[in-house]
Amino acid sequence: MEQVKAVFIVVAYMLSFQVFILGTPINDASEVVFGLGLVIVGLAFFMEGLILGLMPLGETLGLKLPRKAHLSMIMVFAFAMGMGATFAEPAIGILRAAGKDVTPWEAPLLFRLLNKDTHILVNFVSLGVGLAVSMGVLRFIYHFSLKPALYIGVSSILLMTAIASLDKELSAILGLAWDCGAVTTGPVTVPLVLSLGVGISRMTGSDRSETSGFGVVTLASLFPIGMVLALGFILNPSTPNTMTKKAFSDPKKKEAVMVLFKDEAHYQSYVGESSQKSLEAQTRGESHWRVLSQGVLGAMQAILPLCLGMILVLTLWVRERLTHGDEVGLGILFAVIGMSIFNIGIELGLANIGRQVGHVLPSAYKTIELDDERHISNFSEDMVYAASTAKGETKRFFYLEDGGQYLRVPYDRAKLDPIRQVYSFRTTRGPLFGDTKNRLGTIVILIFAFILGYGATLAEPALNALGNTVENLTAGSLRKTLLMHSVALGVGLGLTLGMVKIVWNVPIIFLLAIPYLILLVLTAISSESFVNIAWDSAGVTTGPITVPLVIAMGLGIGGQSGVVEGFGILAMASVCPILVVLCVGLWVQSKQISSVSSSPFKSVDHSSNDKQKKDKPQKTLAATESQDSSQKQQAMDESA
């Protein structure tokens, strides 16, 4: 039911907006519904497998490793587990599917990362997560403050982003790099890392701090961003520059641009005579059989090596018997089945919906072409009419009978095949809310993005769990409902800013630098507990449902709006919740301070100082006995 709730609310909202507000039918509706059903079933199996199999393995290793291994060996294992967990993330597959929406002549480096060198991109992302988990283990053991890591990490990444924004080729990958930080904190990485940390903390006795479990998710979000930017700096010198499509298709350029493609067939699909049909076939997706085989194979490659490695470390290195092996084995099987089904559902359902909605959203404020190419046989130019505009320009059009209605279609002579007498065109739509100079359509899109972010976040099961944890840890000073709505408000604002980035093609450095600089200031003046909670709250906003939808939607909007790339929405949806939660934390702290300062019990009776001095030995003994009793009770509670 958690998966049904998470999927239904978001998808129903997006499809309702497309059908009732934008007035565009759903393409391949039966396939979309079937894909959504697969997503729900796949997630249910996967999450059950995670609880039964992967998380017990992580916690058991966290308990046993400190007894048998040196710190350096624990760090190596944590690094390897972080890398393996990244490969097993369901949303990581959306990066591989996003490459077909990027044109190689407009963004060569981005195209290379998402097509030919996707495996290198995923490896660098996993390296970042591995480093983050290693540092997280040190944090679990030594419990050092998260603030210095944030100062150094955020400042370094912002500096790299600023340098990359000065280069036209590198600036095209900035949105991808920052979105990769959101993709990594999914339903595999976070529970595995936390279960490992819980085990280590219990073994080393460092789990007494109320926020010792927080902060690792933040590190697992920041490190991959830096690694992707570093990869861009490495590959940029050997990647051709941006050029026109005509220059790109020049045979003289073939040797230089082949570095972007997997093989000759891949190259011909973009520059050959049948390139348009090839690209359309890619956009519509591959055959169902291939989607099925890739989904199952991808799940096995992601889950099985990770679990096998953890079992081998436990049995051969730690030399401990696997307890409840039947449950763990069943959990691994459920995880593989669930991820296989989910991968297929992403392609047929979530990514399909995201592309469709993103493709038609710009019709609110501009004229777009829909994906419904039509062919009119026996077409003659005698059917074409002419009209004059107020500026004296001539516009040519013809009428098309469609279901008893007569549609006025703009005429473009380049779309007529005079030999076969066939006219090919696509239906146009928009602007639906006034003309292109009217900003009402843009406002409608921004409102749509805010409601989508707010509603989708409240539907995330992980946010509900985080709210309960935070309310317990803060003794009710930060209520669950207040935290949930604060995070949802931040995500709504983030998606709105992400839309601003794509609609107006705003450089992402301007939208990221200011919020993160403000974050560093707020981090410096906030307490450690609220810093840990706020920075980790961004991790629950990028679940397996949100990531494929938002990335596909952003690429769809970018393609219709003429933007080179549609990444960056997830990055904005990650930074804004941190800002809102930190501000709420400061407000809660100020209320606590004011309530303490106004308490009638704050004054001290100085006349009783002499009596206190005389009674000091007895009171010290009483305090000691009370403390011993409290420690015994705590030990009994922990044992229970």
Residue-wise pLDDT for 114-130, tens only, equals 888 888 998 999 999 99
| 506 and 413 co-located in one domain | no
339 and 483 in a common domain: yes
Give the pair of three-digit tokens for residue 312.
């081998």
How far is residue 307's CA from residue 352's CA, in Å, rounded to a whole number?
A: 31
* Integer-rounded Cα radius of gyration of the chain: 28
State whether 90 and 169 are in the same domain.
yes
Report whether 406 contacts 400 (CB < 8 A): yes
For position 631, what pLDDT does the model report?
Answer: 45
Residues 413 and 493 in one domain: no
- Tell me how many domains the chain contains: 2
Which range (235-244, 372-381, 426-435, 623-632) has the least confidence? 623-632
Backbone angles phi, psi at 402, to 5 degrees: -140, 105
Mean pLDDT of the chain: 80
Q: Is residue 599 assigned to a domain? A: no
The answer on 148 and 55 residing in a single domain is yes
Does residue 361 sit in the same domain as residue 382? no
Q: Taking a C-beta distance cutoff of 8 angstroms, is the pair 110, 173 a contact?
A: yes
Is residue 224 very low, low, confident or very high in pLDDT (cuts 50, 70, 90)?
Answer: very high
The residue from 587, 603, 619 where one domain ends is 587
Residue 429 phi, psi (nearest 5): -145, 140
587, 604, 634 — which closes off a domain? 587
Residue 162 has pLDDT above 70, yes or no: yes
- Structure confidence at residue 639 (pLDDT): 44
- Residue 230 is predicted with a pLDDT of 96
Say if residue 240 is in the same domain as residue 200: yes
What's the pLDDT score for residue 517? Answer: 92
Q: Answer whether 582's CB lies under 8 Å from 530's CB.
A: yes
Q: Which two tokens stand for residue 594?
A: 């004011």
Q: 487 with 464, same domain?
A: yes
Mean pLDDT of 603-609: 45
Model confidence at 608, in pLDDT bands (50, 70, 90)? very low
pLDDT digits (tens, 9 = 90+) for 342-397: 888 887 888 888 888 888 888 888 888 777 778 888 888 888 999 988 888 888 88
Both 128 and 52 in one domain: the answer is: yes
Domain boundary among 425, 446, 465: 425
Question: Is residue 415 a part of any domain in this protein?
Answer: yes
Position 201 scores a pLDDT of: 66
629 part of a folded domain: no
Residue 431 in any domain: the answer is no
Q: 243: helix, coil or strand?
A: coil
Give me the pLDDT at residue 521, please: 93
Claim to verify: residue 273 and residue 418 sit in the same structural domain: no
What are the b/e assignments for 513-532, b being 16+ CB within 10 Å? eebbeebeebbeebeebbbb
Residues 395 and 445 in one domain: no
Question: Is 630 among the domain residues?
Answer: no
* Mean of pLDDT values over 256-270: 85
At residue 101, the pLDDT reads: 72
Residue 552, in any domain of the structure: yes
Q: How confident is the model at residue 203 (pLDDT cuts 50, 70, 90)?
A: low
Q: Is the residue at 204 inside a domain?
A: yes
pLDDT > 60? residue 451: yes
What average pLDDT does the segment 495-516 reach?
A: 89
- Amino acid 220: pLDDT: 85
- The residue segments making up the domain with residue 60 are 2-365+438-587
* Residue at 183 is within a domain: yes
Clarify whether residues 273 and 126 are in a common domain.
yes
The vertex-219 CA angle with 469 and 200, nearest 5°, equals: 65
Q: Which residue has the higher pLDDT, 97 or 58?
A: 58
Q: What is the pLDDT of residue 161?
A: 95
Burial 165-201 (b: 16+ CB within 10 A, else e): beeebbbbbbbbbbbbbbbbbbbbbbbbbbbbbbbbb
